[in-house]
Amino acid sequence: MTPGSLGLIAAFLVVVLVLVKPLGMYMAAVMEGRPIWPLRAGARLERLIYRLCGVDPGAPMGWKRYAIALLLFNALGALAVYAFQRMQSWLPLNPQQFANVSPDSSFNTAVSFVTNTNWQGYSGESTMSYLTQMVGLTVQNFLSAATGIVVAVALIRGFARHNAQSIGNFWVDITRTTLYILLPLSTVLAVVLAGQGVVQNFSAYKDVTTLEAVSFQQPKVDAAGGPLKDAAGNAVVESLTTQKQTLPMGPMASQEAIKELGTNGGGFLNANSAHPYENPTPLSNFLEMLALVLIPAALTYTFGQMVGDTRQGWAVLAAMAILFGALVTIAVHSEQLGNPRVAALGIDQTASGLQPGGNMEGKEARFGIGASALFATVTTGTSCGAVNSMHDSFTPLGGLVPLFNMQLGEVVFGGTGTGLYSMLIFAVIGVFIAGLMIGRTPEYLGKKIEAFEIKMSSIAILVMPFIVLLGTAIAVSVADGKAGVANPAAHGFSEILYAFTSAGNNNGSAFAGLSANTPFYNTILGLVMWLGRFWPIAAVLAIAGALAAKKRVPVTAGTMLTYGPTFIILLIGTVLLVGALTFVPALALGPVVEHLVMWGG
């Protein structure tokens, strides 16, 4: 690892840690409805919203009602995104006159954005109208992130309350999260990003006359749009020359900001945060990575404060940060080592004051190795899935890190809300295992962990590997699944495994060589995303409800401390054990084989 990469990672962690406490405190105040300034300023708007909705903001909800409200709200969102795509050619703000999106792609994208996955089967700049991007996709960037946060807060309330029937009011929670947390942060970040060069306008795409003309060949198409064949059955190719470059425009910065802050990851453009219009400078890159981790990291403090013991939050954050440090080191190191087959061609891959060196295939010159591998680790450890480099072209171990990061269940900071609640479920499992070892009834934060909580926790944790591995197995067994693979041998298997891992964990990044915009992949990945999102959420809300109803157990000399080094190690061990036991066989077939082949011969 170069000193520059090391410095970047260190600076990144320091800035995150500095921001955790202030933002965590603010979010706790918002979610507890304390009369801080923003809530007082927005009180009239809030009252108006609740009146129009016919909602009593003080009315408590049990976990079942909370869960139904959440599902209903998200299902509505999916319908709306589907409808906007299917009708975009008849709606305004479509300067490029894009056609309506196909049913299977629309379904996939609707599920994808509602579940906070933002897997993109489509290419943004040649598919979606500005209206679809804004009113369809940007809205779900906000609402899916808010959904994650409110589930985490509901679970926190489960620990914080006792003998209670309610875990909060879903309508109030979702409104406050959107208005007071996501909107202000996004507005500030969007304007700063626009200042760095992220496009923000409603102009039609702009044509420029390039310095040199480009000659290229392109297959000719017949009147129906199919490839034209000559008498021998070969595709007819025409040679063309152009001096025109068309630059995409649109309201990008406003979507970019919430794409990161909400760990969504769905880019306005196909190349996502690798595109210079989405991520123009090293500073914009730093801010985007920061935005990714900010809310998930700060929520640990919110958690600590709301359960009345901030050490509990710091312990969870420490476990996340240690896992992060290990994973990012492997990723940066592997990418910096480069590709021995490229070195064999007489290519200079050595880092120096003049070049980043390393494996530069699928990476941008302004980001080099450190900022690309760091971004890859951050975006897969959180459930974001935005990319500033192409993970498909990573070295085998460099690509294993993002894959394994997701397979751990998105807890290395994790998604907005999802990271915290998933980590707390691991903590419940951890204290249960520890309880078995020492022969005591497990407790966490003053609540007895009993059969119901463990059953629900097992569901929350095991749904993901179940659908990921089952989906992968189906895809590698059928022709439609194998047809999409772009790279030969073990790497092709990794592409499929990555796609299902990404969908099942609601990440959305890809080994993008896989041609996934087909009816088969659009449908099966859509289902995997939906189940991977809402099945665990239902289980988590059930746990929240059960915990809230329990009485608090007093702390005694025999109570296991759930902060301090022992607990942090227990938590890390639980995460690694579950993730590794489930996925090592699959990883051995993909990246591990590829690594051995690459360096062995």
Partner 1 sequence: MTSLLRPAIVLFLILTAITGIAYPLLVTGVAQAVFPSEAGGSLIAKEGKAVGSSLIGQSFSDPRHFWGRPSATAPQPYNGLASGGSNLGPLNPALTDGIKTRVEALRAADPTNKSPVPVDLVTASASGLDPDISLAAAYYQVPRVARERSLPPDAVRSLIAAHARGKVLGILGEPRVNVLDLNLALDALK
User: What is the nearest approach in angstroms of partner 1 to the Cβ of residue 366?
Assistant: 5
Burial (Cβ within 10 Å: 0-12, 13-18, ≥19) of residue 581:
exposed
User: What is the nearest approach in angstroms of partner 1 to the Cβ of residue 380?
Assistant: 16
How far is residue 426 from each of residues 346, 363, 429, 448, 529, measured CA to CA in Å? 48, 34, 5, 15, 21
Scanning residues 497 to 516, which ones bind partner 1 (CB under 8 A)?
Answer: 511-513
How far is residue 550 from each of residues 157, 447, 453, 537, measured CA to CA in Å? 12, 7, 11, 20
x/- binding map, residues 526-555, to partner 1, per CB under 8 A? ------------------------------
Chosen residue from 354, 438, 479, 557 binding partner 1 by CB under 8 A: 354
Which alpha helices (DSSP H) does 392-450 contain, by range? 396-407, 418-438
Scanning residues 73 to 132, which ones bind partner 1 (CB under 8 A)?
Answer: 73, 76-77, 80, 123, 125-126
Length of the chain: 601
Nearer to partner 1 by Cβ, of 118 and 395: the residue is: 395
Q: How far apart are CA 227 and CA 300, in angstroms?
A: 55
Nearest Cα to Cα of residue 24 among 293, 295, 260, 258: 295
Buried b or exposed e, range 140-156, using 16+ CB within 10 angstroms: bbbbbbbbbbbbbbbbb
How many residues make contact with partner 1 (CB under 8 A)? 138
Q: How far apart are CA 134 and CA 93, in angstroms?
A: 10
Q: Which stretch binds partner 1 (CB under 8 A): 97-105, 316-324, 356-364, 527-535?
A: 356-364
* 225 sits near partner 1 (criterion: CB under 8 A): no
Nearer to partner 1 by Cβ, of 205 and 452: the residue is: 205
Which alpha helices (DSSP H) does 32-169 contain, by range? 37-41, 43-53, 63-87, 103-114, 130-131, 139-160
Nearer to partner 1 by Cβ, of 338 and 409: the residue is: 338
User: What is the nearest approach in angstroms of partner 1 to the Cβ of residue 38?
Assistant: 15
Chosen residue from 82, 119, 122, 142 binding partner 1 by CB under 8 A: 142
What values do phi and psi take at 550, rounded to 5? -75, 160
* 352 sits near partner 1 (criterion: CB under 8 A): yes
Nearest Cα to Cα of residue 460 among 529, 403, 534: 534
Scanning residues 265 to 294, which ones bind partner 1 (CB under 8 A)?
Answer: 269-271, 274-277, 280-283, 285-286
User: What is the nearest approach in angstroms of partner 1 to the Cβ of residue 373?
Assistant: 13
* 230 sits near partner 1 (criterion: CB under 8 A): no
User: What is the nearest approach in angstroms of partner 1 to the Cβ of residue 487?
Assistant: 4
Q: Which stretch binds partner 1 (CB under 8 A): 101-109, 213-221, 314-322, 450-458?
A: 213-221
**Residue carrying structure tokens 């896992």:** 323
Chosen residue from 138, 312, 379, 501 binding partner 1 by CB under 8 A: 138
Burial (Cβ within 10 Å: 0-12, 13-18, ≥19) of residue 135:
middle
Scanning residues 312 to 351, which ones bind partner 1 (CB under 8 A)?
Answer: 338-339, 341-342, 345-349
Q: How far apart are CA 76 and CA 114, in angstroms?
A: 9
* 216 sits near partner 1 (criterion: CB under 8 A): yes
Nearer to partner 1 by Cβ, of 375 and 426: the residue is: 375
Cβ-based neighbour number of residue 347 at 10 Å: 13
Scanning residues 359 to 418, which ones bind partner 1 (CB under 8 A)?
Answer: 359-368, 371-372, 387-390, 392-396
Nearest Cα to Cα of residue 390 among 301, 459, 471, 491: 491
Scanning residues 172 to 201, which ones bind partner 1 (CB under 8 A)?
Answer: 174-175, 178-179, 182-183, 186-187, 190-191, 194-201
Q: Find the angle CA(171)-CA(177)-CA(178) to the nearest 5 degrees.
A: 90
Nearer to partner 1 by Cβ, of 271 and 459: the residue is: 271
User: What is the nearest approach in angstroms of partner 1 to the Cβ of residue 433?
Assistant: 38
Nearer to partner 1 by Cβ, of 376 and 529: the residue is: 376
Scanning residues 22 to 61, which ones bind partner 1 (CB under 8 A)?
Answer: 49, 52-55
Nearer to partner 1 by Cβ, of 555 and 597: the residue is: 597
User: What is the nearest approach in angstroms of partner 1 to the Cβ of residue 178?
Assistant: 6
* 231 sits near partner 1 (criterion: CB under 8 A): no
Report the C-alpha dihedral over residues 571, 576, 582, 584, rounded to 10 degrees.
180
